[in-house]
Amino acid sequence: MMHSVPNSVIPGRLDVTVTTETPTSDLDLYSDESVIAPYDNYRQLRESGPAVWLSRYQVWALARHAEIYAALHDHETFSSGSGVGLSEELNKVMAGGTIASDPPEHDQIRRVIGRQLTPKALRHHQEHVRHRAAVLVHELVERRSFDAVPEFAQRFPVSLVPDLLGWPEDETGKLLEWAGAGFNALGPMNERTMAGFPVLKGLWEFLDQLAVSRNLRADTWGANLVAAVDAGEVPAAKLPVLLGDFLVPSLDTTVSALASAIWLFGTHPEQWQRVRADPSLIPAAFNEIVRYETPARGFCRLVTRDHELPGGVRLTAGSRVFLLFASANRDERVFPEPDTFDVTRPNVAMHLAFGHGIHGCVGQGLARMEAHALLAELAARVEHIEVGPPVWRRHNTIRGLAELPTTLHS
């Protein structure tokens, strides 16, 4: 429910002053219904104003593209250093990594991680990725029918990323569980977050052990992180965080995008025919996939100083804002007919699925390389993608499928 409130101070963890023009909402963005079908709620938030106070979670929601883009390019006002989730308890634990830090610490960490993920560095792995994609697609075309989530979307990054990281082979079975719990923890203290605590504890303990044992294969990204620590580029205490920063973001979001690709092309066969007829559309098509079904709904920021948005909404220093990337990517002010899936959308590169600014996803080049290789192989071999009823995940942060019956027609 949306409404304006009289001049007052909203009770909560902060004194947040609002005016008669300030919209507030009691929407629960984390209910099962909203997680599965979020887009009407996002539309309501966009229509209500440049910022909406979410009374359930005591946080401002920014749902429009312009305000989110501006916030992503103003890290001095919108800080990540105290965590980017809704739970203050988890923010304290998770602060300090690439995603939850501010310059100059952020720049130091990102420089070490990012050198493995530059376009030049990734080109060395391109043929390897293409070969793996060809092998997987060949197998799935031969099988014809399968569940696209475990057999396609999960299987590819889980087989690739640990190999690039030099991850211990006997630990790969836990990777998706660890990644899912990490992103779940960015939500409020609900049942999903609480259920992930034991999983997160296991992840943190393993990362600590791995940082000590350094059981990472030579000439891999993980070994390069160890070398950077030994060279004094980052403190040794940061090694577990760096390893986790490589692992968690590189899996669940990519799995989400790959599963959405199969679902969208299965339900929009005319768009698949466009890609097959012109494979040069694949990069734009992937942008449209992550715009339309944005893998991570968004992240929070801490407001460090009083800040006024267009329309007179004032964000008070010390308050938190929730930057809803998934809503920005459906903003009618930027994307005409935003609820239409169109691989030829002219301004699709304006999407914020990977964030933007200094915190733009450092691993997006790897995600694109994986997706482009798989889509190219599918376009060359598959005439029609048939999908059954999808089952959507109930997750605090990741928009993704849990099941997707799929048949490939070649």
Beta bridge pairs of residue 384: 409
For 29-49, what is the mean pLDDT? 96
**Which pLDDT score is estimated for 305?**
96
Least confident of 18-32, 190-204, 330-344: 18-32
Give the span between the Cα atoms of 315 and 95, in whole angstroms: 22
- From residue 384, give the alpha-carbon distance in Å to each of 155, 249, 289: 21, 31, 18
Res. 219 pLDDT band, cuts 50 70 90:
confident
Give the span between the Cα atoms of 87 and 90, in whole angstroms: 5
- 134 vs 97, residue with greater confidence: 134
**Which pLDDT score is estimated for 5?**
32
Give the span between the Cα atoms of 90 and 190, in whole angstroms: 12
Whether residue 1 is predicted with pLDDT greater than 50 in this model: the reply is: no
List, for residues 221-243, the tens digit of each pLDDT value. Answer: 989 999 999 999 988 888 888 88
For 258-273, what is the mean pLDDT? 98
Residue 118 is encoded by which pair of tokens?
A: 């530059």
Average pLDDT of the chain to the nearest whole number:
90
Residue 305 is encoded by which pair of tokens?
A: 């100083």
Whether residue 8 is predicted with pLDDT greater than 50 in this model: the reply is: no
Res. 172 pLDDT band, cuts 50 70 90:
low
Nearest to 406 by CA among 204, 252, 259: 259
Residue 272 is encoded by which pair of tokens?
A: 């698949």
List, for residues 122-138, the tens digit of each pLDDT value. Answer: 999 999 999 999 999 99
Query: Quick check: 86 and 186 in contact, CB under 8 A?
Result: yes
- 1 vs 86, residue with greater confidence: 86
The set of residues, in sequence order, having a beta carbon less than 8 Å from that of 244 and lying 6+ positions away, is 97, 182, 203, 204, 207
Give the span between the Cα atoms of 222 and 105, in whole angstroms: 20
Nearest to 30 by CA among 199, 186, 257, 178: 186
Res. 312 pLDDT band, cuts 50 70 90:
confident
Provide the sign of the torsion angle of the four alpha carbons 369, 177, 96, 223, taken in this order: negative
Query: Quick check: 94 and 85 in contact, CB under 8 A?
Result: yes
- 384 vs 215, residue with greater confidence: 384
User: Which amino acid belongs to residue 84?
Assistant: V
Whether residue 38 is predicted with pLDDT greater than 70 in this model: the reply is: yes
Give the span between the Cα atoms of 261 and 331, in whole angstroms: 21
Residue 88 is encoded by which pair of tokens?
A: 């203050």
**Which pLDDT score is estimated for 95?**
74
Res. 19 pLDDT band, cuts 50 70 90:
low
Res. 143 pLDDT band, cuts 50 70 90:
very high
Res. 292 pLDDT band, cuts 50 70 90:
very high
List, for residues 355-402, the tens digit of each pLDDT value. Answer: 999 999 989 999 999 999 999 999 999 999 999 999 999 999 999 999
Could you give the number of structural domains in the chain?
A: 1
DSSP helix/strand/coil, 148: helix
Nearest to 55 by CA among 14, 84, 95, 90: 14
Give the CATH number of the domain where residue 377 resides: 1.10.630.10
User: Which amino acid belongs to residue 162?
Assistant: P
**Which pLDDT score is estimated for 84?**
94
Query: Quick check: 175 and 69 in contact, CB under 8 A?
Result: no
Query: Quick check: 179 and 288 in contact, CB under 8 A?
Result: no
**Which pLDDT score is estimated for 173?**
62
Taking each helix axis from N to C terminus, what angle separates 282-292 and 252-267, rounded to the nearest 10 degrees? 100
- 9 vs 16, residue with greater confidence: 16
For 109-117, what is the mean pLDDT? 90
Give residue 103's domain range: 2-409
**Which pLDDT score is estimated for 96?**
76
Res. 171 pLDDT band, cuts 50 70 90:
low
**Which pLDDT score is estimated for 7?**
32
- From residue 312, give the alpha-carbon distance in Å to each of 52, 53, 76, 193: 12, 14, 20, 35
**Which pLDDT score is estimated for 21?**
64
Give the span between the Cα atoms of 399 and 393, in whole angstroms: 7
The set of residues, in sequence order, having a beta carbon less than 8 Å from that of 164 and lying 6+ positions away, is 125, 220, 221
